[in-house]
Amino acid sequence: DVQLVESGGGLVQAGGSLRLSCVVSRNTDCMGWFRQAPGKEREGIASIDFGGDSTGYADSVKGRFTNSRDNAKNTMSLQMNSLKPEDTAMYYCAARLGWCPASLSSRLLATEYLYWGQGTQVTVS
């Protein structure tokens, strides 16, 4: 089993930055970030492989968000810059066993991930 705990959410003004962290009980080959706004479906926004060399981003965050991981600290991070009100959502980290899927669309698909954190709220005013 794998446990994940997110932190770092909060209230920030548009144009500001936040850094989310996800501590995982053990490293897995592929991890990702998802978000869900009220009344909307869960959206995959970033994915990273074990070595951190391969990352993938949704168009909605590309160029603004950076996904990274430090396996020595069992931590994955999401640096979020140039935040917009439409980024307001509950943010979740997730992990899967096995390599990241080959296609970006699959890497950002919630059903590809088995383990989930409880989420951290990000609000952009």
Q: What percent of the chain has pLDDT over 90?
A: 97
Q: Is 86 helix (H, G, I), strand (E, B) or coil?
A: helix
Of 105, 70, 77, nearest in space to 93 by CA: 77
Q: What is the pLDDT of residues 80-118, one digit of tens each?
A: 999 999 999 999 999 999 999 999 999 999 999 999 999
Q: Provide the pLDDT confidence category of residue 50 given band limits of 50, 70 and 90.
A: very high
Q: Provide the pLDDT confidence category of residue 32 given band limits of 50, 70 and 90.
A: very high
